[in-house]
Structure 1
């Protein structure tokens, strides 16, 4: 049919003339590699952050379940405090144990163990009487704490420096999404089957679904081990094979492996205990603990755990408070999305400082509203609007930066264990606030408690100003070198022109 020879762009295939080949929609090899590595990285992120979703659901579900537990199990205020804090006590231990376990057997195997504990703890809580409920809440807390340590470290070690902020803070997005799901489930179950005293069991039991998904995803979703952990264990070939799947090109792979090996040579024969004798490592721990405390002392979990109680005390009835509490969950998710977007554009220090200042102002307004207005619907909705604004600053600034910086600043050899220690302290403060908040509200009312958080918040903002490092666009190895050099000015300064240690080495 076509007697004239065709150009190279219109070759004959099997005697037929194909449609003219145009490369507009055809990605080249580099584009294909870029798409593949991003897809694989996103898949790992979404599966692993199911641990964050469980973290959020299991901590948030108690918000709506407590009123039904109180009536069904005949709980006193003290027993309510014990039931609430039992999970947080477990998380305090779980975060430290999880960090140690992640350094010992690897991040992936640790997540498998945690997902099994999530399943056992969830089923146990939903079927228990009071004593076993407290026990299984503690067991569930071990998994929550372990996930809070392991998932951010795992994601930080898998992510390239440029994407690390967005990838790691995806876990924070899943945490607040889990809390939102818990609030929605509480509102639906409470408004439809609220006449059943045991409805709280179904509220708790729903968490088994993402727990099973997490286990299946890790076992069969192709989730690799952390390449940095593999290098630490001398398995360099395995580390390279993992990095080839999650980096754009081989040059990035070998540069990163070389960075890790150089860092490991400086850490030879160091243990966690003798690391404490080095001043720069003590500074790392001091800052990590301080940032963790700033997160909790802002008072976020007084709202996330007792939001329904705060709104009923302010003048709303129980069902209205359950539904209104969804607003706290929605704004937490939206604020976290905003925080993730901002982390790709501005530094960690200004975000954390802005969040601290915003929460201080909101606590001041909440306290003044509770003091000036009489109890009733108007005060209830005013307090709701202020708690929503508070969460905008907390979840959009403080929380994403807290978990990200915790996963970035510790040296490889003790990263899991050190983050486990700082996260344990975070959970311990969380536990104390959750146990003491109802007592403080009873003693000095909502306004007095809010003013107390204002005083604490000012102290936290001062700490951030003087000690918080800037980690954006710096590789994990570069951060370690800056901490080791004890150059505080450089630590607090942003990366110059976005140049990481890998770029510097390539240009020398």
Structure 2
């Protein structure tokens, strides 16, 4: 950890280094992050149960079902890329307010759609907001948060995704709520999110980047605990930004992502984002009811399993949120990924060996739950967290944009191909393919992902600039 980072901490009576405490503003920022995550989980998860009603209303086939499910993901890719430019020009706060408005428009357009193609269009708009939120909100919270609490505050976003998924699966399992009402309900949270956002300041790091140092100092003073000396933290932000001002424009923004010294951050960020999707999580969330009903499970059982999976996701996110800043990002991921891989191997065996009948139903459900526990409590925690803290300030908007687009593009590819893979290879073999992706994820994390827990954003950037971004380099610096 750098000297500047250390000097911005305080020391308790026992001599232990402590960061600044959490203020009301930081808790409000965490709440904004949570609402954004809830919208992500709800808007992407609600389609799983709603498709059963939509199919009956519009008399559509499998192809259109996949198109409707995937349309929000296409919009998310567009939103993730577009909001990179918006967050640089309007600021993080202004972009989040725009995203809130788009959430409302997309939800209403989807709920009122008179035919499947207009529903697809509405979900593309809604996806723009989802992608924009994933690009901007975690980055904003990370730039506002003290290093000591950054992991838990950013992961409020990830935790709320689980809440949104649980709510959407419960709504779907009731089979009593019209799909139009279920989708229209998503217009309320973004209004709350926007009102909360009006009470919050702009990112101090974005302000420094715009040469508004006095405003950045005022923001830090307001969001840090009373009596906390913000000057060392501000000096470190200014120092890093001044170094970037001395470089050419090709080291900034989208051009800067091509620079060799930034490449390790891009590899880690995008690699983790892609593996969070290839791990099988979206296969389970989007299509578990379809997979189960196609293999003899009752519809009510399949929907109840979805609720159980959503609750497991949420519980493991809560546990991860509580321990990630103590256990460490890298260590937690390496412990949990092998369990997810083994679970998928066992699931595949049930179907390949023909042990997928009624008698094995409890074991299949238990294995699904175990997979969700290992996946949600490990790799899924890292998707948005690494994006919020890995990239240098000069390219952070572009970096988080590319990472979000990588995640959503992978999600889109999976959504459009999964049913075809199952028809081509079989259910069990498809589970095995995704188990292989988990094995690859383990070795990727082992080789490329450093332990960034406890390091300030500026300290992480200095590691990059010095060419010391490997796991071993961070171990030596700890």
Post-superposition offset of 1:217: 2.2
Task: Calculate the aligned-residue CA RMSD, in Å.
Answer: 1.9
- Separation (CA, whole Å) in 2 of partners of 1:88 and 1:79: 15
Post-superposition offset of 1:361: 0.8
1:456-467 maps to which residues of 2 (within 5 A)? 456-467=437-448
- Separation (CA, whole Å) in 1 of partners of 2:456 and 2:476: 10
Aligned length: 455
| Pair 1:206-2:185 in alignment | yes
Match 1:246 to one of 223, 231, 246: 223
Post-superposition offset of 1:273: 4.4
Is 382-391 or 136-145 further displaced after alignment? 382-391
Residue 263 of structure 1: aligned partner:
240
1:62-461 maps to which residues of 2 (within 5 A)? 62-128=47-113, 129-188=115-174, 190=175, 192=176, 199-219=178-198, 222-249=199-226, 252-268=229-245, 269-270=248-249, 271-461=252-442
- Separation (CA, whole Å) in 2 of partners of 1:400 and 1:491: 22
Give the 3-state SS of the residue equivalent to 1:234 in structure 2: coil
Judged with a 3 Å threshold, the aligned counterparts in structure 2 of structure 1 residues 250 and 484 are, in CA distance, closer, same or farther, namely farther
Judged with a 3 Å threshold, the aligned counterparts in structure 2 of structure 1 residues 484 and 250 are, in CA distance, closer, same or farther, namely farther
Stretches of structure 2 lacking an aligned partner (at least 5 in a row) = 1-18
- Separation (CA, whole Å) in 1 of partners of 2:456 and 2:20: 20
CA contact (8 A) 2:256 2:394 kept: no
Length-normalised TM-score, structure 2: 0.91
CA contact (8 A) 2:37 2:157 kept: yes
- Separation (CA, whole Å) in 1 of partners of 2:123 and 2:270: 25
Post-superposition offset of 1:490: 6.0
CA contact (8 A) 1:314 1:380 kept: no
CA contact (8 A) 1:292 1:425 kept: yes
Is 260-269 or 454-463 further displaced after alignment? 454-463
Judged with a 3 Å threshold, the aligned counterparts in structure 2 of structure 1 residues 479 and 34 are, in CA distance, closer, same or farther, namely closer
Post-superposition offset of 1:39: 2.8
CA contact (8 A) 1:316 1:376 kept: no
Judged with a 3 Å threshold, the aligned counterparts in structure 2 of structure 1 residues 495 and 70 are, in CA distance, closer, same or farther, namely farther
CA contact (8 A) 1:56 1:179 kept: yes
Judged with a 3 Å threshold, the aligned counterparts in structure 2 of structure 1 residues 491 and 167 are, in CA distance, closer, same or farther, namely farther
Match 2:33 to one of 48, 71, 78: 48
CA contact (8 A) 1:474 1:495 kept: no
- Separation (CA, whole Å) in 1 of partners of 2:203 and 2:85: 15
Judged with a 3 Å threshold, the aligned counterparts in structure 2 of structure 1 residues 243 and 99 are, in CA distance, closer, same or farther, namely same
- Separation (CA, whole Å) in 2 of partners of 1:457 and 1:235: 45
Post-superposition offset of 1:461: 1.6
- Separation (CA, whole Å) in 2 of partners of 1:90 and 1:488: 33
Give the 3-state SS of the residue equivalent to 1:61 in structure 2: helix
CA contact (8 A) 1:373 1:379 kept: no
- Separation (CA, whole Å) in 2 of partners of 1:457 and 1:110: 34
Stretches of structure 1 lacking an aligned partner (at least 5 in a row) = 1-32, 194-198, 498-508
Residue 4 of structure 2: aligned partner:
none
- Separation (CA, whole Å) in 2 of partners of 1:488 and 1:145: 28
Post-superposition offset of 1:96: 1.3
Post-superposition offset of 1:280: 1.3
CA contact (8 A) 2:253 2:396 kept: no
Q: Which structure: larger Rg? A: 1
Judged with a 3 Å threshold, the aligned counterparts in structure 2 of structure 1 residues 495 and 304 are, in CA distance, closer, same or farther, namely farther
CA contact (8 A) 1:347 1:494 kept: no
1:376-418 Cα offsets, whole Å, 9 max, x none, are: 4333432221121111111111111221111101011210111
CA contact (8 A) 1:231 1:261 kept: yes
